[in-house]
Structure 1
Amino acid sequence: MQDQTAIVTGACGGIGAATTMRLVRLGVNVVALDLNAERLAQLEQDVTEAGGNIAVLAGDVTDEQLGRAAVELAKERFGDLEILVNNAGMGSAMEPIWEIDLADWRRDIEVNLTSYFMMIQAAVPHMVEAGYGRIVNTASAAGMEGHALAGGYAAAKAGVIAMTKVLGKELAKDGVIVNAIAPALIGSGMLDQPWFSDEVKEKLLGRIPMGRVGEPEEAAEMIAFLASPSVSFSTGAVFDLSGGRATY
């Protein structure tokens, strides 16, 4: 992976920042995307101090132009693009589907699913032309099982899983491998959301046989593996990251 280039969305969250640092330590150049410019500046400093190469781009992943700008930045700064890590995401208020505000539903779908679609549309033509690429999408156990009171988020993540399966088939002969990870409870910024109460956390922990929250670095290791040339005969798959919760 030395000297390959990756785009990482949601790069300043727990999983995103850990993934960025893991890829950098593997010699990957990273174009980091996030909504928070201040946190991007800190991430840029951390990567630079670690001896890595990074370019940062602040913006909303629901902006169609951001994906195109990220691909152009990758090519301009580092020469090419081999890896896309779709990791941007947000949680939503805990309420039943019939009570979800339409604007909140649309925001859930736009951030957690449509942004992945737009990034893929921007990146895939370059990968196909080069005959090589790795795409890793962050889905969720919610998309596999369905989470009560998280309808928008679960629906979006189920869409990510379906899109991953479709892309795996569509790109199977083009040298572009597409897989997803499905985390359960990971120690990231999402745990700090006001709706994520201690009661909700304990309920989710009770479903995890290992009895603990996953670490962002554990997710980063799986993402880095799936983004590597070592994965060459698995595509369109969903890799569990739930501490034993989902065993299918």
Structure 2
Amino acid sequence: MENNMNGQTAIVTGAAGGIGSAVVTKFIESGVNVVAVDLYQQALDVLIEEVGTSGGEIVPLAGDVTDPLLAIRAVELSRSKFGGLDILVNNAGMGSDMVPLWEIDLETWRRDIEVNLTSQFMMLKAVIPGMIEQGYGRIVNTASAAGMEGHALSSPYAAAKGGVIAMTKAVGKELATKGVLVNAIAPALIGSGMLDQPWFDEKTKKQLLERIPMGRVGEPTEVAEMITFLASPSLSFSTGAVFDLSGGRATY
């Protein structure tokens, strides 16, 4: 892909996870400097070792995306280390035990919304003013097929990801004439770290896999390819849109 991203700077949240690490790897290969944000410093250390130094540079930033100050620190770091910011990939997220809505406690609900939706709002709020000022920016928010369809037994997650989709559409319209394009991706089952969580049992995996016409899970590298395009100057006439990554499953 000829995307002319060399020398640009990106913030990627959830950078050490399956999708996040694939995105960081693709960005570095494309010559993009990356502020890699993740909850775990050890995971960031492994990421840096695995990605190497061929292409762009990685600067790690460990912290909880629900902390309002983390977004501000990420932007300040991108400016102090690389002189600016061109790209945001809002990728950090989490799942939780699969139970009916009426059995979910308020603390679990709030945590899911904070991690999967509010954290993206805080990152957007931190990066957008600078992008408006420079007249350029590319933002990619990670939503989910759950946010489009509403997964049973995953009400907090589905609600949060549905919120990401609605927020993306709204802010995409707000920035449509500013040179800052905001889009979302909606993956279905992806072979990333989330599949290894204890609440994601084999029965659930089998049921979800049966709904994918391609008959397989997606790969993090496939998601990274889509995100890289959406984060590049090659994208010029799409904003507030949701791009499907479901292997043909989508019915919306």
Quote the RMSD (CA, aligned, Å).
Answer: 0.8
Give the Å deviation of 1:199.
0.1
Aligned positions of 1:147-186 closer than 5 A: 147-186=151-190
In structure 1, distance between residues paired with 2:45 and 2:205: 31
Instruction: Please state if 1:43 is matched with 2:29.
Output: no
Partner-residue secondary structure (3-state), 1:172: coil
Partner-residue secondary structure (3-state), 2:65: coil
In structure 2, distance between residues paired with 1:247 and 1:22: 29
In structure 1, distance between residues paired with 2:129 and 2:64: 22
Assess, with a 3 A threshold, how the Cα gap between structure 1 residues 49 and 3 changes in structure 2: closer, same or farther: closer
Which residue does the alignment assign to 2:194? 190
Note if contact 1:182-1:239 (Cα within 8 Å) is conserved in structure 2: yes
Match of 1:216 among 217, 220, 241: 220
Give the Å deviation of 1:45.
2.2
Note if contact 2:35-2:59 (Cα within 8 Å) is conserved in structure 1: yes
User: Unaligned 5+ residue runs, structure 2?
Assistant: none
Give the Å deviation of 1:196.
0.5
User: Normalising by the residue count of structure 2, what TM-score does the alignment of the two structures yield?
Assistant: 0.97
Give the Å deviation of 1:47.
3.1
The letter for the 2-side match of 1:181 is I
Note if contact 1:7-1:32 (Cα within 8 Å) is conserved in structure 2: yes
In structure 2, distance between residues paired with 1:119 and 1:91: 20
For 1:124-147, what per-residue CA distance to the aligned partner results, in whole angstroms no more than 9, with x for missing partners?
Answer: 000000000000000000000000
Report sequence identity in percent: 71
In structure 1, distance between residues paired with 2:182 and 2:213: 28
Give the Å deviation of 1:247.
4.6
Note if contact 1:47-1:53 (Cα within 8 Å) is conserved in structure 2: no
Note if contact 2:88-2:139 (Cα within 8 Å) is conserved in structure 1: yes
The total of aligned residue pairs comes to 248
User: Normalising by the residue count of structure 1, what TM-score does the alignment of the two structures yield?
Assistant: 0.98
The letter for the 1-side match of 2:192 is S
Which residue does the alignment assign to 1:134? 138
In structure 2, distance between residues paired with 1:192 and 1:135: 28
